[in-house]
Amino acid sequence: MSTASHLLYLVSAVAFVVGLHLMGSPATARRGNLVSTGGMVLAVVVTAVVLVDDGSIGGTALLVLVAGLAVGSAAGLVTARRVRMTAMPQLVSLFNAVGGGGAALVAFAEVLRAEGVLDRAGVSLVLPTVLDVLIGALTFSGSLVAAGKLAGRLPGNPVTSAAGRVATLALGGAAVVAGLVLLTGRGGTPLLVLLAAAALALGVLLTLPIGGADMPVVISLLNACTGTAVAMAGFVLDSVVLVIAGALVGAAGAILTLLMAEAMNRSLTSILIGGYGTADTAEAVAATGNVRATSVDDAGLQLAYASKVVVVPGYGLAAAQAQHELVALCSALEASGIEVSYGIHPVAGRMPGHMNVLLAEADVPYPQLRDLEEVNPEFARTDVVLVVGANDVTNPAARRPGNPVSGMPILDVDRARSVIVIKRSMGTGYAGIDNELYTDPRTTMLFADAKAGLRELLTAVQTYAR
């Protein structure tokens, strides 16, 4: 490989680092995504040119390469443009599956290309190959299960059984034994195939017991696994740029996983064990008290005569595709001189940053997006909190023991002077328990679809505007 190729790979690696840094802030995230995309395009083009120049690929194989690039690029572009915001989490899971599965196939392709390489190679090659196949295959199947849960094609509740736990332990032990045997220089390709099969089964068995409430953390964890598998593929191929790209994704995913688990006040171990919101947890005490329904006119009057309003969005807002209606309502409030901000819980929605992305799509100014630590002290000075589709992240039950959300940091909306909740019904959230906020004397329920309810609220606010 020429010096120019090495330099271009270095440029790609720098683009990945700079892009990841820019993604750390909502204000520069779009630019960071573009920078990282540019780095990846450069890396793919350089790799294709190198393969053609050194004679590694040509003829029919070259046509297959070009066709693969064209089909993959078109599929990614069309899917990303057509995906609904509510389906974004499962799309991320599918991307994780593609990354993990692709990394595992790279290791297999390299082993098959050089027949008997595992028997002749040292630990420096066999170890990353084993880790690549193990992590990549596990991530592939686990991400598909996570996508199925998020899309409603698989049960969102934890699926647990004694037989499943035994099978998980047995397959985990078999995978470890197979990896150790491969490291001794024995077993070869057939044992690598068995390792991959065990990893695929483990991905399914490890993800099924995890409930929907923990999916934001699981998505981050699988993303970290995808990056690790890609880094291992880089070691197998002796590709520095692949190692750097995989390491960055793996490290970012791991950090985000820990932050998300901390935001839920749950250990990663308890999340992986599963059972959130099921009979495996302590039985929750039903919320007591009366639920007070309100009308659009009454809610609009409260908002129109408030001085400070905080909006708390949740998955119900995304499901109704009502972010633009919400922003229109908030703009009308601001035009009347009312202070408006948005309280964002880190695990609201179905993936990390779901609410931030949703509201950014509707052009909400970044300074108005306030995280949990920043907005909680403001609720005591807030006239009206408007909760749109958020459930577990506002449940005061989290402040006491004995229920599935105990200990989870919440948005302290019940400390405001008044709370209006827009919700279609009294259905529970992921945790499967009643929200005690709904029976609070200061809370009124506006039962409506989020999009229709927000439109009617806008009309009412404009009527009562001062």
Mean pLDDT, consecutive 10-residue stretches, the chain (466 aa), reads: 86 93 82 93 89 77 86 89 79 91 90 69 81 96 91 80 91 94 84 94 92 77 94 90 92 88 75 53 51 93 95 89 93 94 86 80 86 93 94 89 81 95 81 85 93 94 81
In this predicted structure, what is the pLDDT of residue 175? 94
In this predicted structure, what is the pLDDT of residue 382? 96
Residues 149, 141: Cα–Cα separation, whole Å? 13
- What is the enclosing helix (H) or strand (E) of 357? helix 354-361
CB distance 133 to 107 below 8 Å: yes
Residues 282, 158: Cα–Cα separation, whole Å? 15
| C-alpha closest to that of 246 among 73, 16, 23 | 16
What is the amino acid identity at position 211? Answer: G
Instruction: Output DSSP code: residue 383.
Output: S
Sheet holding 339-344, edge to edge: 369-371, 339-344, 308-313, 384-388, 418-423, 443-447
CB distance 317 to 389 below 8 Å: yes
CA dihedral 249, 250, 255, 260 (to 10 degrees): 90
In this predicted structure, what is the pLDDT of residue 125? 83
- What is the enclosing helix (H) or strand (E) of 310? strand 308-313
In this predicted structure, what is the pLDDT of residue 461? 93
What is the amino acid identity at position 231? Answer: A
Residues 276, 416: Cα–Cα separation, whole Å? 29
For residue 56, with 0-12 CB atoms within 10 Å meaning exposed, 13-18 middle and 19 or more buried, which class applies? Answer: exposed
Q: Name the active-site residue from 132, 214, 392, 412.
A: 392
Terminal C-alpha separation, the chain? 71
CB distance 419 to 435 below 8 Å: no
| C-alpha closest to that of 196 among 103, 73, 66 | 103
3-class SS at 387?
A: strand
298 is catalytic: no
Q: What are phi and psi of 330, to 5 degrees?
A: -65, -35
Strands 369-371 and 308-313: unpaired
